[in-house]
Structure 1
């Protein structure tokens, strides 16, 4: 049995209270969990960013504003746990040690944010290392890693496979560009580089892309690995 860690963006799972994207993920996650040990780390998405923005407008310190964002990630995670019913550990875990203990149940383990100043991508990267995951998936609103922002640069190249060190260069460059959103944050990428676990960046808007990658070992996104991997090590 392989171990899989998913970083599931809040904007993917909950683009809005009036347009949740949870139901399509339930059969996919349940099917994966019937074969593999599965952890899911849920982000806060736009709702978390709005809470943080309001807090800062009220002169709330950054750490306290981040705590609000963490609460939103855990709220999103709670919705997922409740939707998964008996397939999930019945409580959103709040740290990595608790996640590892809960995984002994054989249930899907769901968590949100942990520490102010740390993204859920970084939380998932640490969890991938601590759980000795076979693969770490990052499910985002783009279909892989690009050399530039594909929304503004039509010449942007999508990578089928790159090394962690190359991804780190891309992320650092993109973070230095004003207003540029990056696929992952620097801390998460450094964790990927350190632990050597393959990272797969997929378009999370289509849950079947994840299932295809897990079942076939071949993905339609970007593979970040020290060595070429086809199929994936599952």
Structure 2
């Protein structure tokens, strides 16, 4: 059975409050495809992570502590995501790559869910590393942006890539990734370098368009960006 890692942006799970309707729809899609794929899901922190990281800084904490606060929020989102999957989810929220990989190895029909791991790493990088560790067939990034653009998509003249190489993605991430908790390029530069070294097929789609998500999981044509 092919393994697929989903990196689900926290802004989809909790843009200000938990989006229960989205989680139910995503869970239905994943469980429906679980006969064909084994899934591991990594959840981002979203608005709560940004707020807590900012609060830590405002209270005098350093970036390490801001990262730790953000990681706690990713794990809260992961818990909510696992709850939406119900009995199809492997019990608990994984906190390390080894525990997630062990769960994947022993539970081929269960969905493994994880949040962030260590300060300095975004959940993008966590997803890339887990995909590499478990030899996933592909990695699918779900966010509130519908692909990779040549510049921030809010800028006039921004153009979306339908396809790009790993090296092109790394160059773009190096230009725009700020490497700071609560701020991010669509996929941070460490994550880009990880998928480049392992030549991981990676898809970027708008996460709330589940037809696009399903196409990306299947490796078929979609309106986002494919990197390989």
Fold similarity call, TM over 0.5: yes
Q: How many residues align?
A: 221
CA shift, 1:79, in A, is 0.7
Equivalent residue number for residue 159 of structure 1: 161
Once residues 184 and 213 of structure 1 are traced to their aligned partners in structure 2, the CA distance between those partners, rounded to angstroms, is 16
Equivalent residue number for residue 200 of structure 2: 197
Equivalent residue number for residue 112 of structure 1: 115
CA offsets per residue over residues 67-92 of structure 1, 9 Å max, x none? 11111000000011111110000100
Once residues 95 and 9 of structure 2 are traced to their aligned partners in structure 1, the CA distance between those partners, rounded to angstroms, is 17
Equivalent residue number for residue 96 of structure 1: 97
Correspondences of 1:133-152 after superposition (within 5 Å): 133-152=136-155
Against the structure 1 CA distance between its residues 98 and 173, is the aligned structure 2 distance closer, same or farther, given a 3 Å change threshold?
Answer: same
CA shift, 1:206, in A, is 1.6
- Aligned equivalent of 1:170, options 157, 169, 172: 172
Once residues 199 and 219 of structure 2 are traced to their aligned partners in structure 1, the CA distance between those partners, rounded to angstroms, is 22
What secondary structure sits across from 2:154 in the alignment?
Answer: coil
What secondary structure sits across from 2:23 in the alignment?
Answer: coil
Once residues 190 and 216 of structure 1 are traced to their aligned partners in structure 2, the CA distance between those partners, rounded to angstroms, is 21
What secondary structure sits across from 1:4 in the alignment?
Answer: strand
* Structure 2: segments with no counterpart, 5+ residues: none
Once residues 210 and 41 of structure 2 are traced to their aligned partners in structure 1, the CA distance between those partners, rounded to angstroms, is 13
Once residues 218 and 2 of structure 1 are traced to their aligned partners in structure 2, the CA distance between those partners, rounded to angstroms, is 18
What secondary structure sits across from 1:146 in the alignment?
Answer: coil
CA shift, 1:135, in A, is 0.4
CA shift, 1:157, in A, is 1.5
Equivalent residue number for residue 8 of structure 1: 8
Once residues 141 and 117 of structure 2 are traced to their aligned partners in structure 1, the CA distance between those partners, rounded to angstroms, is 17
Once residues 6 and 65 of structure 1 are traced to their aligned partners in structure 2, the CA distance between those partners, rounded to angstroms, is 25
Against the structure 1 CA distance between its residues 11 and 193, is the aligned structure 2 distance closer, same or farther, given a 3 Å change threshold?
Answer: same
CA shift, 1:143, in A, is 1.1
Once residues 62 and 219 of structure 2 are traced to their aligned partners in structure 1, the CA distance between those partners, rounded to angstroms, is 46
Once residues 171 and 218 of structure 2 are traced to their aligned partners in structure 1, the CA distance between those partners, rounded to angstroms, is 31
Correspondences of 1:1-234 after superposition (within 5 Å): 1-17=1-17, 19-20=19-20, 21-103=22-104, 104-106=106-108, 107-153=110-156, 155-175=157-177, 181-215=184-218, 217-225=220-228
CA shift, 1:219, in A, is 2.2
CA shift, 1:208, in A, is 2.5
TM-score scaled to structure 1, two decimals?
0.90
* Structure 1: segments with no counterpart, 5+ residues: 226-234
8 Å Cα contact 2:116-2:123 kept in structure 1? yes
Against the structure 1 CA distance between its residues 102 and 216, is the aligned structure 2 distance closer, same or farther, given a 3 Å change threshold?
Answer: closer
Once residues 40 and 18 of structure 2 are traced to their aligned partners in structure 1, the CA distance between those partners, rounded to angstroms, is 26
Task: Indicate the RMSD between aligned Cα atoms, in angstroms.
Answer: 1.5
8 Å Cα contact 1:174-1:182 kept in structure 2? yes
8 Å Cα contact 2:140-2:216 kept in structure 1? no
